[in-house]
């Protein structure tokens, strides 16, 4: 997978794994990572699927309708790549915090739905429920931040509440932060994610 790896200055901090939204690249969330966890190492991925020339992490059949077969395949692809990247760059595979927006948040959600302990924590900006009707792996104590919009036309409040319920039901410690700016990832939402990260992993940005 196309990616960027940036060595951190704080080896005790978890490595952030970044997942962009539809049409984004591996450069999109680097600024957000610096806000959430200054000094942390960063692995930022580019999705391997193109939709009308726009990178994504998995195919969809229509707006809000995921290609479930491709989602499962791409989820394993990312999971395996994280193992390979850990070996290549020497970071701790068991000390990763995922950060994603929109389509990127959805692939993180799918990793949490399919693999126990894929990450030590996750920050999901405007995610949807990746799959329904499956049993989730044990996520006991896993901290998850969800940034959501009360008026998000793509990820409805009900979608957010469903995702929260499913992850909580698997044992995750889920925090939901609500905004009223549609599907946008706002500075105030980023600040809330930073505070959440500092609370759970230390060393967040206090500005």
Question: Any idea what the Cα angle at residue 147 is, between residues 24 and 89, rounded to 5°?
Answer: 55
**Residue 95 contacts residue 118 (beta carbons within 8 Å):** no
DSSP bridge pairs for 60: 66
- Annotation says 152 is catalytic: yes
Of the residues 183, 195, 200, 205, which is catalytic?
183
196: Cβ contacts below 8 Å, ≥ 6 apart: 123, 143, 145, 175, 177, 204
Of the residues 114, 126, 152, 194, which is catalytic?
152
Cα gap 191→91, rounded to integer Å = 26
What is the total residue count of the chain? 207
Of the residues 102, 110, 125, 194, which is catalytic?
102
Q: List b or e across 133-172, with b for residues whose CB sees 16 or more CB atoms inside 10 angstroms.
A: eeebbebeebbbbbbbbeebeebbeebbeebbebbeebeb
- Annotation says 102 is catalytic: yes
Instruction: Catalogue the active-site residues.
Output: 102, 152, 183
């Amino acid at each position: 997978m196309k990616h960027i790896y940036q060595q951190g200055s704080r080896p005790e901090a978890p490595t952030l794994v970044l997942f962009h939204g539809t049409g984004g690249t591996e450069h999109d969330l680097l600024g957000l990572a610096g806000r959430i966890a200054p000094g942390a190492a960063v692995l930022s991925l580019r999705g391997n699927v193109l939709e009308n020339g726009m990178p994504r992490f998995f195919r969809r059949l229509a707006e809000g309708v995921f290609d479930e077969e491709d989602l499962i395949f791409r989820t394993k692809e990312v999971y395996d790549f994280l193992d390979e990247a850990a070996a290549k760059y020497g970071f701790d595979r068991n000390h990763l915090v995922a950060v994603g927006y929109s389509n990127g948040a959805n692939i993180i959600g799918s990793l949490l739905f399919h693999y126990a302990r894929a990450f030590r924590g996750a920050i999901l900006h405007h995610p949807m429920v990746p799959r329904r009707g499956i049993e989730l792996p044990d996520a006991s104590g896993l901290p998850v931040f969800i940034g959501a919009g009360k008026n998000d036309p793509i990820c409805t409040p009900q979608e957010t509440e469903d995702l929260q319920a499913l992850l909580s039901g698997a044992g995750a410690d889920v925090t939901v932060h609500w905004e009223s700016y549609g599907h946008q990832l706002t500075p105030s939402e980023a600040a809330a994610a930073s505070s959440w990260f500092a609370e759970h992993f230390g060393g967040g940005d206090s500005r």
